[in-house]
Amino acid sequence: MLEFNQNFLILGIDASNIRSGGGLTHLIELLNNYNPETYGFNQIILCAYKGTLDQLPNQSWLVKILIPSNEKNLLKRIAWQRFKMIKVFNYEKCDLIFSPGGIINSLKIPVVTMSRNMLPFEWKELKRFGISFKTIRYMILYFVQMKSFQMTNGIVFLSEYAKNKILPHLKSNKNYTIIRHGINKRFFSRPRTQFALDHYTFNKPFCFTYISIINFYKHQWNVVSAIHRLRRDGIPISLKIIGPKYAPAFKKLKKTIKNLDPNNQFIEYVGEVPYTKLVPFYHDADAFIFASSCENLPNILLEAMASGLPIISSDRGPMPEVLKDAGLYFDPENIESIVQSMKELVSSTKLRTSKALLAYDYSLEYTWEQCASETFLFLNKIALQQSKQGSI
């Protein structure tokens, strides 16, 4: 049982680079599940931009500090984050800073960071972007994050895979923990009745759904090619692709669709859908495919599991760690491998039923309540350690 310091502990949160997506969801859920009497910090001082602050809960223990936008002046933004934010945390007498974005802006106050992005640590994946600003950005991010991880007093990893990839790069032992994100309750839906393949026709085909950004390491074009081969073999199957797009990768996807499905008979690209409106796209699918080759903790895969879907997945990264034996796996760079996994899944009603039930059961382990509890207990532990070291 963690023994809390009886003194007045204050936690600072640097949310300066959290504006949308999974990072914002994570921050909102952490604060929604926070209780000062349970987790030991009497007050939280949080610095963020207005758009982020507006979406966070209003609580007596939460002090929101607005970061001036300076949208048109990058240097001013960086200067405020690097220098003035630390003055705020010092003025508020914070005992610990939590930086869920993974970048350290303090040398005077103990800091805990979080590992979110695996692309800077996956050279093979970075090479897919060629010589581009994106590659340069991720290379810079690698050095910035490595420096932060070296300086931090504690690291939160989202998966065993991320921990095993990053820890060997660090020169000194670090306090670390693995804390998995939760799943929003609205995604949960028990697996539905599965129908035999002869229930489907080319007019009403069995539909795979793939939700993710269109990007080089997501391999949507290989999935399109696999769908085309199965239809050519007489299997009534289709694909719905949902997500924002990275322009160079989307160009490759459009070319593949134009070559294999010029009349848009079996491939549908829906486009970007707001996070709050994604649920029906999961619940209306017959099965889910996830062909990414670079992830830290694939929230999309977790949402598909909670939605009660039969799933086939890339065998790369943390996907087998998350999905375990509840799905079929393939090599995302090998079209034939994708074809075989798809064919095996659609051909067996029994297999689809058992895998969907197993995936749903595994998804129940991912709760935001548990994520918040483990996070704040770890932060309190580091704050107490640093406090004791400072008093020696």
Query: In this structure, are residues 301 and 323 in contact, taking their beta carbons and an 8 Å threshold?
Result: yes
Q: In this predicted structure, what is the pLDDT of residue 316?
A: 95
At position 219, the amino acid (one-letter code) is H
- Alpha-carbon dihedral sign for residues 121, 126, 131, 133: negative
- pTM over the 0.85 mark: yes
Q: How does strand 10-14 pair with strand 237-242?
A: unpaired
The domains of the chain, with CATH numbers, are: 10-182+367-386 (3.40.50.2000), 185-363 (3.40.50.2000)
Q: In this predicted structure, what is the pLDDT of residue 390?
A: 57
Q: Which residues of the chain have pLDDT under 70?
A: 1-7, 69-78, 105-107, 388-392
In tens, the pLDDT along 296-312 reads: 999 999 999 999 999 99
Residue 181, exposed/middle/buried by CB under 10 A (0-12, 13-18, 19+)? buried
Q: In this predicted structure, what is the pLDDT of residue 159?
A: 95
In tens, the pLDDT along 118-153 reads: 999 998 998 999 888 889 988 988 888 888 888 888
Q: In this predicted structure, what is the pLDDT of residue 109?
A: 87
Q: In this predicted structure, what is the pLDDT of residue 17?
A: 81
CA atoms within 13 A on the CB side of 254: 9
In tens, the pLDDT along 61-91 reads: 999 998 876 555 656 666 777 778 888 898 8
Give the span between the Cα atoms of 326 and 295, in whole angstroms.
18
Q: What is the distance in angstroms between the CA of the first residue and the CA of the last residue of the chain?
A: 24
Order of strands, sheet of 176-178, starting from the edge strand that comes earlier in the sequence: 62-66, 43-48, 10-14, 96-99, 111-114, 154-157, 176-178
Give the span between the Cα atoms of 163 and 121, in whole angstroms.
11
Give the span between the Cα atoms of 85 and 105, in whole angstroms.
8
Q: Supply the DSSP string of 228-268, one letter for each residue.
A: HHHHHTT--EEEEEES-B-HHHHHHHHHHHHHH-TT-SSEE
Length of the chain: 392
Q: Which residues contact 336 (CB under 8 A, 6 or more apart)?
A: none
- The tokens for 80 are 């405020």
